[in-house]
């Protein structure tokens, strides 16, 4: 079905290995998987990490028995980018068809992608063999510089600097250009020059930012990843409009990613950190980024007068009075006249919570995870998660 806009959804944003612990819940612990839908309804999947399982369940629920036809681009064959394949439910239905694209590995030789696909289901690694996957499958091998047209979108591949090889992909849609360049390490002139040209004028760049600049200059050099600082340099040099920091290190807590994001935002206005549930939409040049709260949190209606201080997307500071309309131990929902920057930090001072004189204040810091227009409300609704 035509969508009329280009929509990019993030189902997995973590690098190297999945994480499941309290310190990484906010940005998420699934490994790379993005869903791209273009205006004519063509569906793409970018990488097949553990986030692929949730995407498959969503597609199955929405399909209602009708067939699914989609194009899957795998950047490379390391575990974190393919380990969701056996758990992708739509592959087990004969009504569906999937077109897979990646490169020929020097180690695996001809039909590399098909062989990797089959190995995922081989004994003793998985209890169900390949015959259980009844969906139609096609495999196409690409190399850097190759270009193809899929529906209303032109797709171009580019070699990236990563051990055993990796491809970046550029999707030129009717609404603008998206570059997906995960798992790339700067420092080799021929790769750096090619990637800079590849990203030129892109509307959106999803770039590897797994390590800090200090890690990249130290013992992580040669591991095939980049940093937030190198991502900023690439985005500025290529004239990118919106940068998304991606492939978070499994040892980076939410607080670590917050710190990386703050440093990046001090040097580039339009930058955000990828999180599970993030949805980016483009409509003829207009870019909108929104975060959905992945886990429903039980909230109670409240009416606490509060003062909120923060900054708008263009960097202007604001300070206004409002009311906390509902609240939980983890977050709150408020209405503001100002629109705060997504993923920015707000200071929320709740007034009159008690004390001997009735004037006690509670000062909290909240992380902006959702912005929404509420019918009939004056201003914009803001969902926040409390941070220490």
* CA separation for the pair 143, 164 (Å, rounded): 14
Contact 167, 155 (CB under 8 A): no
State yes or no: pLDDT of 296 exceeds 50: no
Q: Which residue has the higher pLDDT, 286 or 35?
A: 35
Provide the pLDDT confidence category of residue 75 given band limits of 50, 70 and 90.
very high
User: What are the residue boundaries of the structural domains of the chain, listed by start?
Assistant: 6-291, 300-387
Whether the per-residue pLDDT at 120 is higher than 60: the answer is yes
Instruction: Convert the pLDDT of each residue in 151-194 to its tens digit.
Output: 999 999 999 999 999 999 999 999 999 999 999 999 999 999 99
Q: Which CATH class is domain 300-387?
A: mainly beta
pLDDT higher than 70, residue 2:
no
Burial class (CB in 10 A: 0-12, 13-18, 19+), 53: buried
What is the average pLDDT across 258-272?
93
Instruction: Specify the CATH number of the domain 6-291.
Output: 3.60.15.10
Q: Is the pTM of this model over 0.95?
A: no
Residue 160's contacts (CB-CB under 8 Å, 6 or more residues apart) are 75, 166, 167, 168, 181, 183, 184, 191, 195
């Amino acid at each position: 079905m035509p969508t009329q806009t280009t929509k990019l959804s993030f189902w997995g944003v973590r690098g190297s290995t999945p994480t499941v612990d309290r310190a990484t819940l906010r940005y998420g612990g699934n490994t790379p998987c993005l869903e791209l839908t273009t205006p004519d309804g063509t569906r793409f999947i970018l990488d097949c990490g553990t986030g692929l399982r949730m995407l498959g369940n969503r597609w199955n629920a929405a399909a209602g028995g009708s067939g699914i036809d989609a194009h899957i681009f795998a950047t490379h064959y390391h575990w974190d980018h393919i380990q969701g394949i056996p758990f992708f439910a739509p592959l087990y239905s004969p009504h569906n068809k999937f077109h897979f694209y990646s490169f020929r590995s020097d180690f695996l030789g001809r039909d590399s992608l098909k062989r990797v696909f089959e190995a995922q289901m081989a004994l003793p690694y998985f209890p169900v063999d390949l015959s259980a996957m009844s969906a139609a499958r096609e495999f196409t091998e690409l190399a850097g510089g190759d270009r193809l047209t899929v529906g209303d979108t032109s797709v171009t591949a580019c070699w990236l600097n990563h051990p055993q090889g990796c491809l970046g992909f550029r999707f030129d849609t009717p609404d603008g250009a998206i570059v997906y360049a995960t798992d790339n390490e700067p420092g080799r002139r021929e790769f750096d020059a090619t990637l800079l040209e590849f990203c030129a004028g892109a509307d959106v760049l999803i770039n590897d930012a797994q390590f800090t600049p200090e890690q990249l200059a130290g013992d992580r050099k040669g591991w095939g990843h980049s940093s937030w600082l190198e991502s900023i340099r690439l985005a500025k040099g290529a004239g990118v409009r919106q940068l998304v920091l991606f492939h978070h290190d499994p040892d980076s807590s939410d607080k670590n990613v917050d710190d990386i994001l703050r440093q990046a935002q001090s040097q580039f206005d339009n930058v955000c950190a990828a999180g599970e549930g993030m949805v980016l939409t483009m409509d003829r040049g207009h870019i909108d980024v929104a975060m959905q709260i992945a886990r429903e949190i039980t909230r109670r209606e409240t009416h606490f007068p509060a003062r909120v201080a923060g900054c708008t997307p263009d960097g202007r500071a604001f300070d206004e009075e409002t009311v906390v309309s509902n609240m939980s131990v983890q977050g709150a929902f408020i209405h503001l006249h100002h629109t705060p920057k997504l993923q920015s930090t707000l200071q929320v001072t709740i007034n009159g919570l008690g004390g001997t004189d009735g004037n006690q204040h509670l000062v909290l810091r909240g992380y902006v995870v959702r912005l929404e227009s509420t019918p009939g409300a004056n201003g914009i609704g803001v969902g926040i998660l409390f941070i220490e």
